[in-house]
Amino acid sequence: MKVVIADDEPLARDRLRMLLGEHGGVEIVAEADNGLSALQACAEFKPDLVLLDIAMPGVDGLEAARHLTAFEPRPAVVFCTAYDEHALSAFEAAAIDYLMKPVRAERLAVALERARNFVAGRETQAPAAPHRQPRSHLCARLRGSLRLIPLEDVHYLQAEEKYVVVHHARGEDLIEESLKSLEDEFNGRFVRIHRNCLVARHEIVELKRINDGRVQAVLRHGKEPLEVSRRCVAGLRDTVKSL
């Protein structure tokens, strides 16, 4: 079983490394000291299990776990933390176990067995439930690495074939998620203007009708207006009035 350890405390990583060394068939393929590094390691090594701290700089463990639910193959996630108040959020992020620090050998053994069962049944498992707590970033894959895009930087999302193009403050990136799942997760942040396009609510400046009767949305940071479908016009006018 391939394992990634993610914790910003070197002593905590040392302890997990020592405890894992007592179990046969366990290989530590990478260690990380923050959530982004953990995601990068998972993209590269495709582990079966991630031992994940919650309180880490930058992208924390809960945010990282929400992104891991979309990974293929999806790794088992076990949180290792000094705080018990995050347990509900941890299981909403599809964790299979929640260990309190200092991690005890017997509890880690139970978590490893759960991870083995998770991996054994991974092929027949249903997809993870939608994120109950919205993410603060979108995750794009770029030539083997990952880029996290802050939601506040996103201008609009446009579907193209099996990808969604994220137009944001630093350019454009592709993500492998559906517009419908993004609309559901970030309800209220983005508004649909077309079957293939969601726009950040704060980006809409005005709606304008052009000569042929079509309606376009003018964006605060858009290079050019975006077409609004007829079925979206009425609802979008109400949205613009409320801005």
- Written as one letter, the residue type at 9 is E
Domain with CATH 2.40.50.1020 in the chain: 152-242
- Written as one letter, the residue type at 142 is L
Q: pLDDT (tens digit, 9 = 90+) per residue, 54-67?
A: 999 989 999 999 99
Quick one: 152-242 is in which CATH superfamily?
A: LytTr DNA-binding domain (2.40.50.1020)
Angstrom distance (rounded) from CA 189 to CA 56 = 26
- Among 9-18, 39-48, 61-70, 78-87, which is the least confidently predicted range? 78-87
Domain with CATH 3.40.50.2300 in the chain: 2-124
Q: Reading across the β-sheet that carries 49-52, which strands appear in turn?
A: 27-32, 2-6, 49-52, 76-81, 97-100
Residue pair 214/227 in contact (Cβ under 8 Å)? The answer is yes
The proportion of the chain whose per-residue pLDDT surpasses 90, expressed as a percent, equals 69
Q: Which CATH architecture has domain 2-124?
A: 3-Layer(aba) Sandwich (3.40)
Give me the mean pLDDT over the 150-170 stretch.
94
pTM attached to this predicted model: 0.77
pLDDT band at 217, cuts 50/70/90? very high
Q: pLDDT (tens digit, 9 = 90+) per residue, 66-119?
A: 999 889 899 999 999 987 776 767 777 788 999 999 999 999 999 999 999 999
Structure-token pair, residue 243: 């801005």
Determine the length of the chain: 243
What residues does 146 pair with on adjacent strands?
141
- Sign of the Cα torsion 62, 63, 68, 70 reads positive
